[in-house]
Amino acid sequence: MRSREPGEVFGPRMTLFADVLSVGLATSLACLPLVTVPAALSTACAVLRGAGEGQPATAGRYFAMLRRRLWAGDLAVGVLALTGALLCAADLALARVGLPGAPLFAVVAAAIGAGALVVGLRACARPESLTDWPAALRAAARDVVADPGGSALVLLAVATAVLCAWMLVPLAFLAPGPLALALTAVDVRFAGISQS
């Protein structure tokens, strides 16, 4: 086991944990305009993927990578994601009004929303999302079909992040870091499975 380096605040076992929390806080700040959520989460996944390759996973590196993004495509994907979330919420709200067939419609709308969420989150974890969102979304859709276990892990990670944020509101600002780590781990895991 490696000893603590000079100037290192945390020991070797806490370094990744601290990095994930700092990247999570930086991601939360970048997500505040809402339409930047996909770009912010994609950048967090790229920073954490780099940590596995020996690159630093710091908030400074996160913001440097975020500044280099192609913002036209990122904002278009952000608007699409925000519109989809609002439509799904409106559909579920209409289902509660008591329209005929509302229970079945609510189940179908929730399933479509969950599927779109998983595809979107898996697209954020793909390396292609840094430069080419359509390619990342196509690859993520293939991954959802080919790796249902990974998709279940993504839904579990989202549920855990939401539960933590609901239980203790200040944790909502740190939740994007562990969520990005989970998304990256699922993507790296599936890449390893598909190569073997």
Task: Give 139-155 pLDDT, tens digit per residue.
Answer: 999 999 999 999 999 99
pLDDT band at residue 162 using 50, 70 and 90 as cut-offs:
very high
Q: Which comes out higher in pLDDT, residue 171 or 63?
A: 63
pLDDT of 2 reads 55
Tell me the three-class secondary structure of the chain, residue by residue.
Answer: CCCCCCCCCCCCCCHHHHHHHHHHHHHHHHHCCCCCHHHHHHHHHHHHHHHCCCCCCCHHHHHHHHHCCCHHHHHHHHHHHHHHHHHHHHHHHHHCCCCCCHHHHHHHHHHHHHHHHHHHHHHHHCHHHHCCHHHHHHHHHHHHHHCHHHHHHHHHHHHHHHHHHHHCHHHHHCCHHHHHHHHHHHHHHHHHHHHC
pLDDT of 163 reads 94
pLDDT band at residue 1 using 50, 70 and 90 as cut-offs:
very low
